[in-house]
A = this chain, B = another copy of it.
């Protein structure tokens, strides 16, 4: 067989050849753009040509601090297409972390959205490797700025050659992209994606039993492009000729609902917080959402109530998926098997609230205290993953050894696996609660509490206990209007039938909000401090 490399550039080339008329609809600060893949292709080629002119070479890191829009999509293909490395940076991190990440990755050029420019001006003097900045603006003139040299994206493009070619015969194991993930302790950790990983992952996203991305779809990635490449959707959607809708900067649930109706979005993807917000919007407004065939939800576990609300109230199919920055990210998807269609509605929802089965192409094992666990839906263990789109190290980081051992990525997620091979994330290894020598899953209790009508969010953390070592404490945010109407006892009573008595939280504390990371995950370390503060004499 031919030795032909899997390469990111070839994905866009396929779209240029076979789907030249299909569109990318993109919201930027100032307006809504519509470009087809022929135009996106030419603009990407111009960009490669211009970057080449200003000195970007194979292997150079190309940083982006940007929202989801067509220019960001063009860099997705231009950087790896010319052998450079796309480095998407999480704009919601602290300035300190952003400085660390840019210097650690040694970004040579930074593409920045207009509204993020002030942030860059603020940290400008701390950046040790960046030689040029590009502002992505619709305006004819560059904003006033102290940053030098500062290019306008569209001006840069106008200097480029629309027939510039993607680098031929790239080594498929060469870096194509990178992304940093927050660490519980210390600085963010970098993951490098190869061309091979991105192409294989795109194949996986197109499979009938995963996301089934198709030419006939209208895909709207709500998950940010700086969050594990918007879960790979822009790569797969471009390859398969899918219409893409990019919701742009600082979108609101209202804009999402409007775009779904207006552009007949068929598939969208994001974290639970986003869908909680959209749900509120759908309840308040009147939107036509019948085009939606799939809402993909990942990043953290979706509560059963959320899934039910989408499916029962709005007939929107809702799919739970699981992955991590280290896994490109798709690792499991929850879909019913054909014979599970016979389950009762309630059992179907239970099954769908799990994280699903492994995506073809990967391997998994689950290791508990005494080696690999039984797949009986009861035993718990840490999920280990292996495969061609799973990282094998953190970029230049001594912490690699903690997560990558013996050829497996140790996810830090505690799961059960049932006879069907379906995993259910029950906790983070670090968040498991050890009470009286036994493990309690904080996530299971959280999900049970979140099924209560009055509850908007719940997070359960461990508190030190003299007698039992640790005991669970529930932290609850109520829906508007329920404040002071719901008591600790109501919550405990509601979940009592589902758990052994010793699993029940010792206390339920009510919060206005639960601290979350920049990608919408509960920050349990911070929450634990807040809980401690409430119990302390000064609290």
**A interface, CB within 8 angstroms of B:** 1-4, 6, 10-11, 13-14, 17-19, 21, 173, 192-194, 196-197, 199-200, 203-204, 206-209, 212-216, 239-241, 328, 337-339, 357-358, 360-361, 363, 386-392, 407, 409, 420-421
- Kindly list chain B residues whose C-beta atoms are within 8 Å of the C-beta of A420: 18
15 A-B residue pairs with CB within 8 Å: A1-B388, A1-B390, A1-B392, A2-B390, A2-B409, A11-B360, A14-B360, A17-B358, A18-B357, A21-B339, A199-B361, A206-B360, A208-B212, A209-B240, A240-B360
Q: CB distance B360 to A2 under 8 Å?
A: no
Q: CB distance A2 to B208 under 8 Å?
A: no
Q: CB distance B6 to A388 under 8 Å?
A: yes
**Given A239-B360, A421-B17, is A1 in contact with B194 using a C-beta cutoff of 8 Å?**
yes
- Kindly list chain B residues whose C-beta atoms are within 8 Å of the C-beta of A2: 386-388, 390-392, 407, 409
Among B199, B216, B363, which residue has its beta carbon within 8 angstroms of that of A10?
Answer: B363
- Kindly list chain B residues whose C-beta atoms are within 8 Å of the C-beta of A391: 1-2
- Kindly list chain B residues whose C-beta atoms are within 8 Å of the C-beta of A196: 1
Question: This chain: how many copies in the complex?
Answer: 2
Measured CB to CB, the closest approach of chain B to A476, in angstroms, equals 36
- Kindly list chain B residues whose C-beta atoms are within 8 Å of the C-beta of A17: 358, 421
Q: CB distance A240 to B207 under 8 Å?
A: yes
CB nearest to A359 among chain B residues: B14
Q: CB distance A18 to B206 under 8 Å?
A: no
Q: CB distance B4 to A388 under 8 Å?
A: yes
- Kindly list chain B residues whose C-beta atoms are within 8 Å of the C-beta of A421: 17-18
**What's the Cα separation between A357 and B17 when bound, in Å?**
10
Measured CB to CB, the closest approach of chain B to A213, in angstroms, equals 7
Q: CB distance A241 to B337 under 8 Å?
A: yes
Measured CB to CB, the closest approach of chain B to A419, in angstroms, equals 8
**What's the Cα separation between A10 and B337 when bound, in Å?**
20
Measured CB to CB, the closest approach of chain B to A440, in angstroms, equals 28
- Kindly list chain B residues whose C-beta atoms are within 8 Å of the C-beta of A387: 2, 4
Measured CB to CB, the closest approach of chain B to A403, in angstroms, equals 12
- Kindly list chain B residues whose C-beta atoms are within 8 Å of the C-beta of A13: 363
Q: CB distance B240 to A338 under 8 Å?
A: no
**What's the Cα separation between A192 and B2 when bound, in Å?**
11
- Kindly list chain B residues whose C-beta atoms are within 8 Å of the C-beta of A216: 209, 337-338
What 4 pairs between A and B have smallest CB-CB spacing?
A: A203-B203, A208-B214, A208-B212, A18-B421
- Kindly list chain B residues whose C-beta atoms are within 8 Å of the C-beta of A199: 361
**What's the Cα separation between A204 and B360 when bound, in Å?**
12
Instruction: Knowing that A1-B392, A239-B360 touch, tell me 8 more A-B residue pairs with CB under 8 angstroms.
Output: A1-B194, A4-B388, A18-B357, A203-B203, A203-B361, A215-B338, A240-B360, A241-B337
CB nearest to A419 among chain B residues: B20
Among A1, A357, A390, which residue has the most Cβ atoms of chain B within 10 A? Answer: A1
Q: CB distance B212 to A212 under 8 Å?
A: yes
- Kindly list chain B residues whose C-beta atoms are within 8 Å of the C-beta of A4: 363, 386-388, 390
Among B10, B206, B338, B363, which residue has its beta carbon within 8 angstroms of that of A209?
Answer: B206
- Kindly list chain B residues whose C-beta atoms are within 8 Å of the C-beta of A207: 203, 206-208, 240
- Kindly list chain B residues whose C-beta atoms are within 8 Å of the C-beta of A241: 337
Q: CB distance A209 to B203 under 8 Å?
A: no
CB nearest to A191 among chain B residues: B1
**What's the Cα separation between A425 and B204 when bound, in Å?**
30
Measured CB to CB, the closest approach of chain B to A38, in angstroms, equals 11
**What's the Cα separation between A361 and B195 when bound, in Å?**
13
- Kindly list chain B residues whose C-beta atoms are within 8 Å of the C-beta of A360: 11, 14, 203, 206, 239-240
**What's the Cα separation between A120 and B14 when bound, in Å?**
47
**What's the Cα separation between A147 and B419 when bound, in Å?**
46
Q: CB distance A358 to B14 under 8 Å?
A: yes
- Kindly list chain B residues whose C-beta atoms are within 8 Å of the C-beta of A212: 208, 212
- Kindly list chain B residues whose C-beta atoms are within 8 Å of the C-beta of A19: 337
**What's the Cα separation between A200 and B173 when bound, in Å?**
16
CB nearest to A239 among chain B residues: B360
**What's the Cα separation between A203 and B6 when bound, in Å?**
13
- Kindly list chain B residues whose C-beta atoms are within 8 Å of the C-beta of A389: 1
- Kindly list chain B residues whose C-beta atoms are within 8 Å of the C-beta of A239: 360
CB nearest to A207 among chain B residues: B206
Among B213, B338, B361, B390, which residue has its beta carbon within 8 angstroms of that of A208?
Answer: B213
